[in-house]
């Protein structure tokens, strides 16, 4: 009896938490295919005829939303790939190297990720202005990688530490080079960690507003910056705002669902202990 009561209370709490978390998202998605009058109708309507005029306008030549979307995809994907490649190699070196002050070096690397974004923007802006990177895609990529790389290094270092060194040593005794032992022996078991790290880096780059608002230019603005432009002195373009929010969350939800198995495995390998 007590167990049944506990389960009922637990399931009730979970249900309330899910409703609290998902209702705003569901409402945003529904509002993106409503007319503006339908968004504010009372009582709210959950069953209606969808209206896709807002999406048609956004992706038309006059909407220019496709330019923002392509900038977001390029910046997020390239930054994630660069961070994963360098972070994987660097993380393996930190996990297997016998450094004199390994713990201090590891903490210094992750401490650069702990710094608040406003504290990083000013020095980066001064450097980028000297190098002519303000308003360019390379500048935005460098800014994203500056924040993603320490995180990727730290995560991959912990994942590689979960892989037994004896496996690599046995492979090298059998004739593998150091790189072959890394590629064939150490990397496959750490693949879930690689996926988890990549998804988290991608989410940061995709959702970022601070870096994009400072370092992007007229031709390199991303989707979060486009969303901020919908708030004007004349009011808020609610239809486009809801549609933009839907576009922002959809790729991340799809990516998370597609790799959820590896994401759970990766995050449970020891990185969040």
Torsion angle of C-alpha atoms 186, 191, 193, 196, degrees rounded to 10: 160
Q: Which residue has the higher pLDDT, 118 or 149?
A: 149
Residue 208 CB contacts under 8 Å (≥ 6 apart), including other chains = 144, 222, 224
pLDDT at 272: 45
Q: Which residue has the higher pLDDT, 15 or 109?
A: 15
CB 59 within 8 A of CB 66: yes
Q: Which residue has the higher pLDDT, 122 or 79?
A: 79
pLDDT at 73: 93
pLDDT digit string, tens, across residues 46-77: 777 888 888 888 888 777 888 899 999 999 99
pLDDT digit string, tens, across residues 81-134: 999 999 999 889 888 877 777 777 777 877 777 778 888 888 889 999 999 999
pLDDT digit string, tens, across residues 192-241: 888 888 988 998 999 999 899 999 888 889 999 988 888 877 778 888 88
Give the tokens for residue 118: 């406003």
pLDDT digit string, tens, across residues 230-247: 887 777 888 888 889 898
**What confidence tier does 271 reach under pLDDT thresholds 50, 70, 90?**
very low
Q: Is the pLDDT at 273 greater than 50, yes or no?
A: no
Distance CA 23, CA 18 (A): 8
Percentage above 70 pLDDT, the chain: 95
CB 183 within 8 A of CB 168: no
**What confidence tier does 1 reach under pLDDT thresholds 50, 70, 90?**
low
**What confidence tier does 189 reach under pLDDT thresholds 50, 70, 90?**
confident
Q: Which of 88-102, 135-149, 252-266 is the most confident on average?
A: 135-149
pLDDT at 141: 93
Distance CA 146, CA 149 (A): 6
CB 64 within 8 A of CB 41: no
pLDDT at 33: 86
Distance CA 141, CA 159 (A): 25
CA distances from 36 to 32, 44, 62, 237 (A): 9, 12, 20, 9
Evaluate the omega torsion of the peptide bond into residue 43 and state whether it is cis, within 30 degrees of 0: yes
Q: Which residue has the higher pLDDT, 221 or 38?
A: 221
Long-range contacts of 158-161 (CB under 8 A, 24+ apart): 158/91, 158/95, 158/193, 158/269, 158/270, 158/271, 159/91, 159/190, 159/193, 159/194, 159/197, 159/266, 159/269, 159/270, 159/271, 160/91, 160/92, 160/95, 160/96, 160/186, 160/190, 161/95, 161/270
pLDDT at 265: 63
């Amino acid at each position: 009896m007590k167990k049944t009561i506990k389960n009922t209370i637990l399931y009730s709490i979970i249900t309330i938490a899910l409703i609290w978390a998902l209702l705003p998202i569901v409402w945003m998605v529904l509002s993106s295919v409503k007319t503006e009058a339908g968004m504010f109708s009372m009582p709210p309507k959950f069953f209606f005829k969808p209206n896709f005029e807002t999406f048609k306008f956004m992706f038309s030549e006059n909407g220019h939303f496709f330019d923002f979307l392509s900038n977001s995809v390029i910046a997020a994907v390239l930054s994630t790939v660069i961070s994963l490649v360098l972070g994987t190699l660097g993380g393996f070196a930190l996990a297997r190297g016998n450094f004199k002050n390994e713990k201090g070096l590891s903490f210094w690397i992750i401490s650069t990720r702990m710094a608040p974004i406003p504290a990083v923007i000013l020095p980066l802006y001064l450097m980028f202005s000297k190098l002519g990177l303000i308003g360019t895609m390379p500048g935005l990529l460098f800014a994203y990688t500056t924040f993603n790389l320490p995180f990727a290094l730290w995560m991959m270092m912990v994942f590689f530490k979960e892989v037994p060194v004896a496996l690599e040593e046995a492979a090298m005794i059998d004739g593998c080079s150091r790189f072959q032992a890394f590629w064939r022996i150490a990397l496959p078991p750490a693949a879930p960690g690689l996926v988890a790290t990549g998804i988290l880096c991608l989410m940061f780059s995709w959702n970022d507003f601070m870096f994009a608002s400072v370092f992007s230019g007229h031709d390199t603005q991303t989707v979060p910056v486009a969303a901020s432009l919908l708030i004007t002195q004349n009011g808020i373009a609610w239809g486009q705002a809801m549609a933009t929010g839907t576009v922002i969350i959809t790729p991340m939800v799809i990516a998370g669902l597609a790799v959820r198995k590896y994401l759970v495995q990766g995050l449970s390998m020891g990185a969040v202990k």
